[in-house]
Amino acid sequence: MQIERIFSNQPSIIRRAMPWVALFSVFPVIVAVNLLFLNYFPAPNAPKADALSWTDGLNPNHIQPQSLYIYNTRDTNQLFGNFYYTLGTQLAARGQIASAEVMLAKAAKLTPTNPYVHMNYGIVLEALQKSEEALAQYQEALKYAPKLVQAHYSIGLLQDKLGRIDAGVTSLKKALEIEPDNNFINYDLGVLYAKKGDYPNSAIYSKKAFEGQGSDFAEAYNNYGYALAQMGRYSEALDAVEQSLKLKPDSAATLDSKGYALYGLGRYEEAMAAYNEALKIDPTIGEVYLHLGQTQEKLKNYEQAVKSYETYLQLTPDASDKVQVQAKIAEVKKKWTVNPSSPTKPSK
C-alpha cells in the first residue's frame, strides 16, 4: 500500500524534484565556466581581491573578478547573479564593454543588494559615456555599502566630468572621511579646489598627497606649485614645480606651471622658454598660449603676443574668458601700431 501511494503521487514528486534536478544539472557548467575565466584566462593585471580599485574611466586594474560564491544554493538568483557578475567583469577587463554591460545588467537585477555589482556596472556604463546611468549605479552601491570609498570617489570624479564641481568636492570629502590618508583622494580634491579657484585648499590637499605618497607624486607637486603661484607665492611655487619636473621632466602641464611662477617673479625670458618647451611636448594646450601671450606682451613682442592670444582662442573656443582675451587682442594691436620696438604692423 505504501509503494502504491508513492507511485500514485509520482507527478507531484517529480514537480518538486525538478528545480533541484535543473539546478544540479547546470551547476557543474557554471563552475566550469567560472574556473575557465578565472584560472585559465585571468584578467590582465586584475587584482585578486574581491574589492574594487580606484576608477577613472575603464582600466583593467579597476575591474575586479569575483570567484563564484554560493550564498544559498536554494537561491538561484544569487547563483546566476554571481555567474553573470563574474562573466561581466571578465569581459570588461578584456575591453568587451558592450557585452560586459549586458552581463552586469543581468547581475544587478538578480543580485540587487550586492554593492560590487553596482560598482562594476557603473564603471562599464561610464566607459560607454552613459554618465547619468553610471552615477545612479554608484549611488545604488552606496545604499548597500554606505562606506564603500570607491563609490564616493567615483561619484566625485564623475561629477567633476559633468561640470558639477561642488558636488564632486562633496563626494571626495566623504571618501576622504573614510580613508583620510589616501593620496589619490587628496590629490583629486586638490585639483577640484583649484578648478573652484580655492587655491589655499588646493595647496593643502595637494601637499597632503605628495607627502603621503613618499615624495614621488609628480602631479601633486605640480598642482601644489600652481596653487602657490595663484596665491602669489612664486618662489615656493617654483621650488614645487622644479621638484615635479625632476620626477617627470616631460610634463607640458608642469612646464606651464614653471613658466607661470617665473612670470610672477618677473623672469620673463625664462618664463617664455618654459612655455615654448611645454608646446614642444604638447602644442594643443590652449592655456600655455595664453600665458605665452602675456609674457610676450611684457617683453613688448606685440606681434607674437597677438598670435598667441589668437591661438588660445582657436584651441579653446568656449573659454570663459573669451571676451576678455578678445579685448586684450584689440588692446595689444593698438600698442603694436605705435610701439617702435615692434617692427611689424597688425593686419586689419
Give pLDDT, residue 163.
92
Domain that holds residue 68: 14-145
Quick one: 24 and 68 in the same domain? yes
Q: pLDDT tens, position by position, for the chain (348 residues)?
A: 433 433 344 444 444 544 544 555 555 555 555 545 444 443 333 333 333 333 333 343 444 444 334 444 456 777 788 888 888 888 888 888 899 999 999 999 999 999 999 999 999 999 999 999 999 999 999 999 999 999 999 999 999 999 999 999 999 999 999 999 899 999 999 999 999 999 999 999 999 998 876 667 899 999 999 999 999 999 999 999 999 999 999 999 999 999 999 999 999 999 999 999 999 999 999 999 999 999 999 999 999 999 999 999 999 998 888 999 999 999 998 887 766 555 444 443
Boundary of a domain, candidates 242, 277, 312? 277
Q: If you count DSSP H runs as helices and E runs as strands, how many of each does the chain have, helices first?
A: 17, 0
At 265, which CATH number? Answer: 1.25.40.10
* DSSP-based three-state secondary structure for 49: coil
Tell me the one-letter amino acid at 309. Y
Integer Cα distance of 54 and 63 in angstroms: 9
* Total count of domains within the chain: 3
- Other residues' Cβ atoms within 10 Å of the Cβ of residue 45: 9
Q: Which of 253, 277, 301 is the last residue of a domain?
A: 277
DSSP annotation of 24:
H
Q: How far apart are CA 208 and CA 210, in angstroms?
A: 6
The DSSP 8-state label assigned to residue 341 in this structure reads: T
pLDDT for res 28: 57
Question: CA nearest 99: which of 47, 132, 75, 63?
Answer: 63
* 201 and 113 inside one domain: no
296-326: b (≥16 Cβ within 10 Å) or e: bbeeebbbbbbbbbebbbebbeeeeeeeebe
Same domain, 19 and 134: yes
What is the structure's pLDDT at 87? 87
> Do 118 and 29 reside in the same domain of the chain?
yes
My answer on whether 58 and 77 are in the same domain is yes
Same-domain pairing of 49 and 128: yes
Q: Are residues 107 and 49 in the same domain?
A: yes
Which among 243, 258, 277 is the end of a domain?
A: 277
Res 26: pLDDT = 52
40 and 129 co-located in one domain: yes
Say whether both 134 and 25 belong to one domain. yes
Distance CA 278, CA 282 (A): 6
In a domain, 162, yes or no: no
Any domain includes 25: yes
Is residue 261 in a domain?
yes
- Asked if residue 27 and residue 140 are part of one domain, the reply reads yes
**Is residue 5 one of the residues assigned to a domain?**
no
